[in-house]
Structure 1
Amino acid sequence: MLSCRRLIGQLANRSQLRCYATARLLDQRYVELTQKNGEQLKYPSVWLRDNCQCPDCFYAATSTRKSNWERGPLNVRAETVRFDVQRQQLIVHWQDAHESSYDLNWLQERDFASRQRYLDAVYKPPMQLWSKTEFAANTCEFAYKDVLKQDAVLLQWLEALAVKGFALLHGAPNDVHVVRQLAERIGYIKHTTYGDVFEVKSKPNAGNYAYLMTPLPLHTDMPYYEYKAGINILHTLVQSESPGGSNTMTDGFYIADKLRREHPAYFELLRSVPVNWFDIGHDGDAKKPFHSLWRAPIICLDVDGQYARINQNTTKRDSRFSVPLEQVVAWYEAYDMFMQLAQAEAVEFKTRPGDVFVFNNLRMLHGRTAYEDSPENKRHLVGAYVDWDIIYSKLRTLKFPNAKD
Structure 2
Amino acid sequence: MDDFNILCTDLLSVDRVFQLTDWFGKASGSKLNKEKTKAQFYGPWKNSEKRGLQFQVTQEEQKILGVKFDTNCEGKTNWTEITQKVKQRLGFWTMRNLTIEGKILIVKAVILPVFLLISSVFIPPMRVFLELQRDIFYFICDSKWERLKREIMTKPKEKGGKGVPDLYLFLGSFYISTHFKQAMDIFNNPKTNSINRFWFGSYLRKLKLLKSDFKKPVAFNLPPAYAFIQKFLQHFKLEGEEIGILTNHRFIISVVQDREPATPVRGLLRGDATTVWPNVGHPVLTNRLQDLSWMVAHEILPVRAVMHSRGMSATSICPRPGCGAPESVRHLLWECSAARDLWAEAGSLQFPYLPAREVLDLQLVLYGVSHQKMEKKDFAEMWLTLATIKDAIWTSRNLLVSRCRQIPPWL
Bigger relative contact order, structure 1 or 2, given CA contacts below 8 A and separation 6+? 1
Larger radius of gyration: 2
TM-score interval for Structure 1 and Structure 2 normalised by the shorter chain: under 0.3
When the two structures are superposed, what TM-score results if normalisation uses the length of structure 2? 0.24
When the two structures are superposed, what TM-score results if normalisation uses the length of structure 1? 0.25
Determine which structure has the larger strand proportion and give its number: 1
